[in-house]
């Protein structure tokens, strides 16, 4: 009887260890024992409904600096009446006023809108 309990305990520890080895990029892990609506029993991993991946795919600001993002960043930097002046493949130029002077800020057209020239 004691051997059976030891075997069951060891099997449970090995099972929990394999559960801990599930990849970290899994969106959800479901441990189900069944209920009225879902009679399945077991451990499942998978996506919720694909919402997060689709939502990330729609964000174009991860790939480039959008004009709206550049203007917002310039306003946060203290530019008044910031407006888009020029955009091309590599740069986004935003002009405005700061301390009464006309200022042009040039952002790189890549993720995060890094500042090239002020």
Q: What is the domain count for the chain?
A: 1
Range of the domain at 98: 64-117
pLDDT of 1 reads: 78
pLDDT 10s per residue in the chain (118 long)? 778 888 888 788 787 676 666 555 555 655 666 666 666 666 656 654 555 555 555 554 457 888 899 999 999 999 999 999 999 989 999 999 999 899 999 999 988 889 998 8
pTM higher than 0.85 for the full model?
A: no
pLDDT of 55 reads: 52
Q: In this structure, is residue 99 part of a structural domain?
A: yes
Total residues found in the chain within this entry: 118
Q: In this structure, is residue 15 part of a structural domain?
A: no
Q: In this structure, is residue 75 part of a structural domain?
A: yes
Q: Which residues of 60-98 are buried (b: 16+ CB within 10 A; e: fewer)?
A: eeeebbbbebbbebbeeeebeebeeeebeeebbbbbbeb
């Amino acid at each position: 009887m004691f051997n059976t309990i030891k075997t069951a305990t060891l099997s449970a520890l090995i099972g929990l260890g394999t559960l801990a080895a599930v990849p970290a990029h899994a969106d959800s892990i479901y441990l189900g024992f069944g209920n009225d609506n879902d009679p399945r029993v077991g451990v499942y991993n998978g996506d919720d409904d694909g919402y997060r991946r689709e939502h990330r795919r729609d964000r174009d600001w991860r790939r480039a600096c959008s004009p709206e993002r550049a203007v917002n960043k310039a306003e946060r930097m203290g530019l008044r009446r910031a407006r888009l002046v020029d955009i091309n493949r590599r740069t986004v130029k935003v002009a405005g006023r700061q301390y009464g002077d006309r200022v042009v800020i040039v952002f790189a057209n890549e993720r995060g809108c890094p500042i090239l020239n002020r």
